[in-house]
Each structure stands twice: as C-alpha cells, then as structure tokens.
Structure 1
Amino acid sequence: MEAAMQNTHTTASSNKRFKIIPIMAALLISGFIGMFSETALNVALNDLMQVLHIAPSTAQWLTTGYLLTLGILVPVSGLLLQWFSTRQLFITALIFSIAGCLIAALAPNFELLLLARVVQAIGTGIMLPLMFNTILVIFPAEKRGAAMGIIGLVIMFAPAVGPTIAGLLIENLSWHWIFWLSLPFLVLALVCGILFMQNVSTITKPKIDLLSIILSTIGFGGIVFGFSSAGEGGGWTSPKVIASLIIGAAALILFGWRQMRMKKPMINLRAFKYPMFTVGVIMVFICMMIILSSMLVLPLFLQGGFGKSAFYAGLIMLPGGIVNGLMSPVMGRLFDKYGPKWLVFPGFLVAAAALWFFSGVTAASAAFLIIVLHSCLMIGISMVMMPAQTNGLNQLPRQFYPDGTAIMNTLQQVAGAIGTAVAVSMMTAGQERYAESHPGGNVVDSLTAGVSHAFMFGMIIALVGFVIGLFMKRVPIKHE
C-alpha cells in the first residue's frame, strides 16, 4: 500500500505532486483519535453516572449532544470545503478537537464535559468530510479502493480498542484519562498537518445562503434530536420526539426544495441523479445503522446479561473490531480488482446470518460464540461499507466531491441516531412483552428477550440492504 501511495502523486485533472504519506498520516491519526474518544466515552457512561451523580437520560446527552452537533455541522461542510483551503480546515478541526479534549480532561462536572463533547464534535464534523474529500482528490479512481481501505483500517480499529482501553483506564485511573491519553496524539497530528498538509481542493467561494443554513440546521438537528430523544427512553409518543421529527422533516423538505431551485446550492442534491451514488449512500446508511445499534446493544447485554465489567465487554468485542479493521484494506484491494457487486451480496448475507444467530444468544451462551458472531458481523459489514462508499463517490464528477462527501457523512450521523434509537425501542418493547407474558420473570431473561428483538431488527435491515444491492453496478473509471 505504501508503494502504491508513493507512486500516486498526481490527480487526473492536475499534475500537482502531493506528499501522500504525510498527508495520510495526519488524516489517519486525527480520524483514529476522534473515533477512539467517541466510543471509549460510551463505555464510561455507567461510571460517569455514579461519579457525576447524573441519571441515564442525562448521561445520554454526552452522546446525543455529539451526534446533534455533527448533524448540524456536517451538512455545511460542503460549503466550508469550497470556502477555505485544506490546510485551514485541517488546522481548525485539530484546534477544536484539542480544545475539546483538554476541557474534557479537566472537566469537574457534567456541564463542562458536555461542552467539551460539543467542541470535540465541531472538530470531527469538519475533519470527516475533509478526510474523504482529500482522498478523492489525491488518489485516482482506480486506487481509491485501497486508500479507502486504509482509512477503514484505522477508523474501524479505534472503536475496537476504545472500549478495552477505556475499561482499563476506568478500573485503574479515572475516566479523565481517556482524554489525557488522546491529547498528545492530537497534538502530533496537528504538528504533522502544519508541516506537511497541502491544499488539495479548489476554492470557489460560492454565495452563502443563510436560509439554507438555517433550514439545514433545523432539519438535520431536529431529526437527530428526535430519534436520539426516543432512544433515551422518552418513547416515540413523547411530544418532544413527535414535534422534533415533524419540524425536522418539514425543514428538510423545504431545504431540499430550495437546493434544487438554486443555481449554486449549499449542498448540490443533484448528486442523487447518479444512481450508483444513491445506492452507495443507502448502503452506507444501512451499515451505520447496523454497526451503531449493535455497538450499543451488545455491551448492554454483556454487562447486564452476563454480569461482566466494561473491560470484559470491551475484550469480547475487541477481536471483531480488529478483524473489521484488518479486512478493510483487503476489501479495498478486492474492490479495485473486481468491483463492488461480489463483495456487497455475500457481505449483507453474512451480516444478516450473524444477526439472526445473535437473536438466539442467551446468558448461558459461551463467550467464544459471542466473539465468533461479532467477528462474522464485522466481516460482513467490511465487505459492504468501503466498496459501496467508494463505488458511489467514484461516479460523481469532480465538482460534486464536496457535496457527495457532505451528503454521505451527514446521513451517516442521521443513520447512527436512527439505528440506536430504533434498537433501544425494539429492546424495550421486547422486555415489556416478556414481562407481560412472564409475570415475576427475572431481569436477565427479560433483557435477553429485548436484545433478541433488537438483533432481529438488525437482520431485517441487512436483508433490505441485500435487496438494494441487486441494483449495484461497477462504475466505469473515467480519467479526467
């Protein structure tokens, strides 16, 4: 891969030489630490509730606030990529990430920790679209699969080691050390970016439409907030949830209508005219729903059903996360050679089969079985995620790259909110049904029934993805 990177110094449209290795190093370190601090903190929520004396619904805002900020900021990223240089955005993103990490490391109470999460999310919201846009520009289409695979290796490895390292830190030190550990790596990425990051995108400075920004903020923010609130335990019939979803949907409809009427929209939704991009977006959306819902449900089951610690839950999930990370570059190379179709089909089937077996797991099941099923699920997801994403973005003309990355990254955040909310709702419904049919039943059996419902939901979603995958075709590579 390194040799491929070193040989790839020109884009299709420009003879400008790019320092591929340093640019990728800066992006990968930033992406890894961003994902690590996010997933590691999720494992620490139980500890935070005790230390900070807060209720579960309050603690959940550390995740909800993060997702909400991303849902608001990422749609604007397409505009930012056209207004500011790559170096400016990279350095700004790292400054926000470092500031958020430092505030969190020093936070004495919940309010400051929540502020830190919002500041961190601003950095991540700028960095994610910048990362994918940079890959699209500095790598030719025939080598993007391998490049995306390396991105996948690093980004998916972070959620794998995050829970385990967090469990160790919590048991031996404190939750503050999750952020103290991240801080030097972020500073290293910033120094690397200052020294080596190059300006790869074209600055066009399109007109800023304030109404589009307002509609986007209300729309995506309302949808993410509504689904996250339902997942917190408020339920789907809560007035707050219903109002948020209605207002968010109405704002999104108006936003879409306005973008299609503008000559220079904030996000060019005409990217959806390219069918493989649309199919790729849907598949990435489904994969994110499956990943984030399973990452929420499985630790709950391991800790509640098996009665194990956060560290134990992290260890059980570690092999699957590592396998997913290691499979990403392999899938990237297979995509470059054979295209997406013969990866996506079996990928969704493997994921669906793993989720179906998961629905039958009980507290008496062997830990080895959980590890194998989780690893199979991660293999299936890795066969779909990177090929679908790369194939979809490959179909877009160069001028659509900022819009395509903004759309894909925005909908990933929305998918995360929807996936976790629906999974929690399905789990709660399963627990309630069990309680009604088994009066006086124990808590573990009730949780097992609820988790089974959540995994069945994931299996259905995976099968829907398989059907949509029937329409996937390899995008012919065009040398611009």
Structure 2
Amino acid sequence: MSVDGLFDRYGPAYRWFATGTVMIAAIAVVLSTTIVNVAIPGVMGAFGISQVEAQWISTGFLAAMTATMLVADWADKAFGLRVSMVAALALFAAGSVLGGIAPNQAVLTIARVIQGAAAGVVQPLAMVLLFRVFPADQRGAAMGIFGIGVVLAPALGPWIGGLLIDAFSWRYVFYLGLPFAALGIFLSALFLPTRTNDGPRPGFDWVGFAVLSIFLGVLLNALTNAQREGWTSDAILLQFLIAALASVGFVWWEFKTTKPMLDMRLFQGLPFVSASLVSFIMGAGLFGSTYLVPLFVQTIQGLTPTQAGLLLMPSGFVLVLIFPIAGRLSDRLPAGWLIGGGLAIFAWSSYLTIDIDINISFWTLAWITALSRVGLGFIFPSLTAASLKVLPKELVGQGSGAINFIRQLGGAFGVNLLAVFLERRTVMHADAFAATQTSDNPATMSLLSHVAGMMKAAGLPDFQQVPAAISFLSQTIAIQANTAAFRDGFLVVAIVFIIALLPTWLLHRAQARGR
C-alpha cells in the first residue's frame, strides 16, 4: 500500500503513526550502538581476550553500520520501505540473540557485525519515510520528534546496561533491544508503505559495497592498532595504503557505474556539500565527547559503569525537551542560524571542561554534559532537514543514506583519533611531569617526606617508607598526566566544533542565495 493509501485509511493521524513506528525501530538499533561498550570488560574476562581483540566488538559494529547506510536507498527501491524495515529489524534481532548466546569472541564479533549491518539500514529508511509523510514546512518538527528516540536511547543505554550487568551478566545487554525490534516489526507491517513501483528491481552495486567495506574495515583496524604496533610499522602503513586505494577506487567506481550506492550528483550543489562537512565534523565531535566523558569518570574518578551511565541521563532528558522546540524552529528560521548556535553552545560546553580534574562534582559534569546536548538539540533537526531539503525528490533516499553515512564516518574517525590522542598526550604529560621531580625540587622532596612520615605512622618498616612514597608520587604523576590529556581532548572537541562554523556559514549563504 502506498503512502496515499495509508493516509486514506488512517487519516491525518497517519503521520504520527509513521513517526512512532520509525522511532521505535531506531531505538531498537541505536541502543546497541552504545550499550555494549559497558559489557566489554565482562566479555574480556569471560573469553580471556585482550583489549585489542575486544575492540573489534565495537569496531566491527561501527564498520558494518557505516557501510550499510548507503544500502538503504537501494533496499527501498527494490523491496519498499515495509519489507526493508521488517527485514532489517529481523536481522538485527537475530544478531542480538546470537550475541547473547555467543560461545566465543569470534561468534560475538560476527553477531555485532550483523547487528551493525541492520542498524545502518534502519536509520536512513526512517528519515526517508518522514520526508514522504510530512510536508516541507513540517519536516524540521518531525525530525525533532524522531530525534528524541535516536539520542535518548544512547543516553539511557549505558545506565541500563550497567544495571543489567550488575544484576545478571553481560549477555543480557544483547537482549535489551529485542522487545523494541519485535514491536518495530509489528508496527512496520501496519504503518509502512509497500513497494509501489511495478517495474524491475534495480541492481545492487556489489563492487561498490565490497570496496567500501574494505575501506572501512581496514581503516578502522589500522586506527585501532596503530598506537600499539607503531604508526610507521609496515603492517599499519600497508593498511593505510589499502584504505587510501579503496577510497579512491570507491569514488572512481561510483562515478563509472550506472547503479551507484552513492550518487555523486548529490555533491554538485554547495548546500549539500556544506551540510556534509558539518555532519562529518559534528559526528567526530559528538561521538568523541560521548567517548571522553564516561571514560574520564571511570578511569580518573573511579565511578562504576552504572554511575557513568547515570551521568548521561540528565542530558538525555534535556534532549527530550529541546528536540521538539528546535524542530519547530527549524521550520521557521534559517538552518544556518540554528546550526551555528548549536555548534557554539556545544563548543562552549567542551571549553568548560578544559580545567577538569578529579575533584569535579558529579552534578557539575552532568550539567556541562546537558549543556552540550542543548547545542546538539539545535543542530540535529536543522542539519538533517536542511541537507535533504535542497535535493530533488529522486535523490532524497540517496541523500538520507549519505548524510547518515558521513556523520557516522566522522564519528568513527573522532573516537579512534581521540583515543590515540589521549594515549599520546598522557605519555607526553607524564614525561614532562616526571622531568621536574628531582631532588632539587623542594615541593617534590616535601611531598616524599610527608608521605614517608605517614607510612611510618602507619607502621610500615623504615626500608619500605621511601619506596612507598616514590610509588605514591608515580601514581600521582600518572593520574595528573591522564587528567591533563583529558583536558587537551576536551579542548580539541571545542576547536572542532568552532571549525564547523565555517561550512555552516557556507551552507547558510548558499541557501540564502537559493542555490
């Protein structure tokens, strides 16, 4: 049944039935994006694997999800929104069950790849449907309401995951998305349109998909392992070379083929190019900051996964309030104003954390995180609507997949590069701090003497007092170096969002000129 037929059956309320359906589908898959991260320590212990091996549980999901975002347009044209959404959610459910019963790390990684492949199809399909059922002057509001589910799920996911792990085991984390997936399948069968084109199904770009998968898998693997194996090691350099050749090959093939996954006509206009740049930078900064905050409170302040998840909850509720407001404003105000304002707010919130230390209170950090989500709330609906509004109708499906793909690719770069940046800056700060800890430094000698005195008062033998004081000093240096690296990381995120103001200005100027 077509969209018009569904409107005839359900009336104007169909718009909200459709919005609720795709929101639940998005919640099912978005939950798995972040919730599994809190289960990684349990997985490492259960299977006896290293951090590097466990990293592929996240990297495999991310690579698969990013690659299949460009498949959504083909799936819609070949099978229709209803069949495509039901199939994607069923595949996601199968991957979730497989992950929950996985007997080893290899099966678990395969399960995560299956989940990621399904998740990558669901989100662009949801955006395509919203653009079909809402008129142009209401699409921003629709994106705002839809965005509530998209961002609330990852905000609540780590907390819920922590509770499940503390109460049961890490395996139950994989089952959390199953009820949402089942409900999404049921509602999709009721409220999503079927394929209305009776013509032949379009062919699939197998070559482009294979080359893109090689690019993403090899690049993310190289970024994950470069710090451990060395950035100039033969293995890492070879992987970067393969990724570079694959990226060039993908672009060349997409220009050449008659059935491209990524139609290069999308990038002929300045507005979509500018929106793509903003999406990439926003993805890098957003995913990077979401990575930094929980990591800081767990490694520096010693909070549990459940407590770290609780820290993100207020920001999720802030988004519930902001998104509908920002969505309505995006239908009435120029997109550049709202995107620029949101970027500035997000940059300001990151700047507030450049003096962060171990003594920062839970609620101070929660407030700063919530402030960053205010900025995000103004960016997301406006950017999504603006990027697709400038495209002709036949390219909206391609544009939806492309803008999600670009944002997710930015996120992959952001998380991996920030992880490397943190490690290198920690070493640099540790070396700098250690160089000043000499016998000529009165503060150092005073600290050692004071700590040794405390050890003596505690009953430690004389020959152990000085070594214990030195050990305390080295641990203090390590914590201070790590804290300084986190400060640098938050500053980088702030700078990244400031940089994004340039393509935002280009987008605003291009839209003002009607191009």
Instruction: Give yes or no for TM over 0.5.
Output: yes
Equivalent in 187, 190, 211 of residue 185 of structure 2: 190
Conservation of the 8 A alpha-carbon contact between 2:60 and 2:217: no
Name the counterpart of 1:412.
Answer: 407
Name the counterpart of 2:353.
Answer: 358
Q: Is residue 2:472 matched to residue 1:437?
A: no
Name the counterpart of 2:492.
Answer: 457
Name the counterpart of 2:438.
Answer: none
Alpha-carbon distance change, 170 to 266 in structure 1, aligned in 2, over 3 angstroms: closer
SS at the partner of 1:179? Answer: helix
Q: Is residue 2:486 matched to residue 1:447?
A: no
Q: Is residue 2:64 matched to residue 1:69?
A: yes
Task: Decide which moves more: 62-71 or 245-254.
Answer: 245-254
Name the counterpart of 2:385.
Answer: 390
Name the counterpart of 1:216.
Answer: 212
Conservation of the 8 A alpha-carbon contact between 1:134 and 1:201: no
1:116, 1:257 → 2: CA distance? 32
2:250, 2:270 → 1: CA distance? 21
- Mark the runs of 5 or more structure 1 residues left unpaired by the alignment: 1-8
Q: Is residue 2:463 matched to residue 1:468?
A: no
Q: Is residue 2:134 matched to residue 1:144?
A: no
Name the counterpart of 2:451.
Answer: none
Equivalent in 156, 159, 162 of residue 154 of structure 2: 159
SS at the partner of 1:365? Answer: coil
**Once the 2 structures are TM-superposed, how far is the Cα of residue 238 of structure 1 from its aligned partner?**
4.3
1:214, 1:181 → 2: CA distance? 31
- What whole-Å deviation, never above 9, does each CA across 1:304-343 have from its counterpart, x for those lacking one? 1101111111111211122134312211111011121221
SS at the partner of 1:265? Answer: coil
User: What is the aligned-residue identity percentage?
Assistant: 26
**Once the 2 structures are TM-superposed, how far is the Cα of residue 117 of structure 1 from its aligned partner?**
0.8
Name the counterpart of 2:457.
Answer: none
**Once the 2 structures are TM-superposed, how far is the Cα of residue 268 of structure 1 from its aligned partner?**
0.9
1:245, 1:312 → 2: CA distance? 38
1:404, 1:391 → 2: CA distance? 11
**Once the 2 structures are TM-superposed, how far is the Cα of residue 374 of structure 1 from its aligned partner?**
0.8
Task: Decide which moves more: 356-365 or 110-119.
Answer: 110-119
Conservation of the 8 A alpha-carbon contact between 1:163 and 1:311: yes
- Which residue type is aligned with residue 222 of structure 1? V
**Once the 2 structures are TM-superposed, how far is the Cα of residue 178 of structure 1 from its aligned partner?**
1.8
- Which residue type is aligned with residue 480 of structure 2? D
- What whole-Å deviation, never above 9, does each CA across 1:406-438 have from its counterpart, x for those lacking one? 211222221121000111111112100111112
1:398, 1:371 → 2: CA distance? 41
Alpha-carbon distance change, 44 to 340 in structure 1, aligned in 2, over 3 angstroms: same
Name the counterpart of 1:31.
Answer: 26
- Which residue type is aligned with residue 188 of structure 1? L
Within-5 A mapping of 1:280-295? 280-295=275-290
- Which residue type is aligned with residue 41 of structure 1? V
2:336, 2:480 → 1: CA distance? 40
- Mark the runs of 5 or more structure 2 residues left unpaired by the alignment: 435-473
- What whole-Å deviation, never above 9, does each CA across 1:423-476 have from its counterpart, x for those lacking one? 111111210011111223433212211211211211111110112222222858
**Once the 2 structures are TM-superposed, how far is the Cα of residue 206 of structure 1 from its aligned partner?**
3.5
1:285, 1:200 → 2: CA distance? 32
1:192, 1:253 → 2: CA distance? 41
Conservation of the 8 A alpha-carbon contact between 1:104 and 1:176: yes
Q: Is residue 2:289 matched to residue 1:254?
A: no
SS at the partner of 2:356? Answer: coil
Alpha-carbon distance change, 82 to 200 in structure 1, aligned in 2, over 3 angstroms: closer
**Once the 2 structures are TM-superposed, how far is the Cα of residue 262 of structure 1 from its aligned partner?**
4.3
1:234, 1:319 → 2: CA distance? 39
Within-5 A mapping of 1:204-353? 205-230=201-226, 233-353=228-348
Name the counterpart of 1:121.
Answer: 116
2:51, 2:478 → 1: CA distance? 18
Name the counterpart of 2:443.
Answer: none
- What whole-Å deviation, never above 9, does each CA across 1:119-143 have from its counterpart, x for those lacking one? 1112112212211121222222111
Moved over 6 A (4+): 14-18
Conservation of the 8 A alpha-carbon contact between 2:99 and 2:174: yes
SS at the partner of 2:57? Answer: helix
Name the counterpart of 1:3.
Answer: none
2:200, 2:428 → 1: CA distance? 57
- What whole-Å deviation, never above 9, does each CA across 1:225-282 have from its counterpart, x for those lacking one? 4334447x44533444432332222222232233234455332111111221111111
Task: Decide which moves more: 353-362 or 246-255.
Answer: 246-255
Alignment RMSD (CA, Å): 2.6
Task: Decide which moves more: 108-117 or 332-341.
Answer: 108-117
Conservation of the 8 A alpha-carbon contact between 2:32 and 2:174: yes
- What whole-Å deviation, never above 9, does each CA across 1:48-97 have from its counterpart, x for those lacking one? 22233221111111100101212332233333332221111111101101
Name the counterpart of 1:178.
Answer: 173
- What whole-Å deviation, never above 9, does each CA across 1:137-187 have from its counterpart, x for those lacking one? 222211110111111111100011111111111111112222333222211
1:363, 1:122 → 2: CA distance? 39
SS at the partner of 1:44? Answer: helix
Name the counterpart of 1:6.
Answer: none
Task: Decide which moves more: 91-100 or 240-249.
Answer: 240-249
Conservation of the 8 A alpha-carbon contact between 1:260 and 1:270: no
| TM-score normalised to structure 2 length | 0.84
2:234, 2:412 → 1: CA distance? 18
SS at the partner of 1:306? Answer: coil
Conservation of the 8 A alpha-carbon contact between 2:358 and 2:483: yes
Alpha-carbon distance change, 241 to 131 in structure 1, aligned in 2, over 3 angstroms: farther
1:420, 1:259 → 2: CA distance? 28
Alpha-carbon distance change, 365 to 204 in structure 1, aligned in 2, over 3 angstroms: farther
Alpha-carbon distance change, 98 to 15 in structure 1, aligned in 2, over 3 angstroms: closer
- Which residue type is aligned with residue 278 of structure 2? M
Alpha-carbon distance change, 107 to 333 in structure 1, aligned in 2, over 3 angstroms: same
SS at the partner of 1:338? Answer: coil
- Which residue type is aligned with residue 488 of structure 2? H
SS at the partner of 2:415? Answer: helix
Task: Decide which moves more: 192-201 or 283-292.
Answer: 192-201
- What whole-Å deviation, never above 9, does each CA across 1:182-222 have from its counterpart, x for those lacking one? 22221121112123321277577334444333333333443
Conservation of the 8 A alpha-carbon contact between 2:144 and 2:381: yes
**Once the 2 structures are TM-superposed, how far is the Cα of residue 10 of structure 1 from its aligned partner?**
5.9
Conservation of the 8 A alpha-carbon contact between 2:71 and 2:121: no
Within-5 A mapping of 1:23-62? 23-62=18-57
Count of matched residue positions in the alignment of Structure 1 and Structure 2: 467
- Which residue type is aligned with residue 58 of structure 1? E
SS at the partner of 1:169? Answer: helix
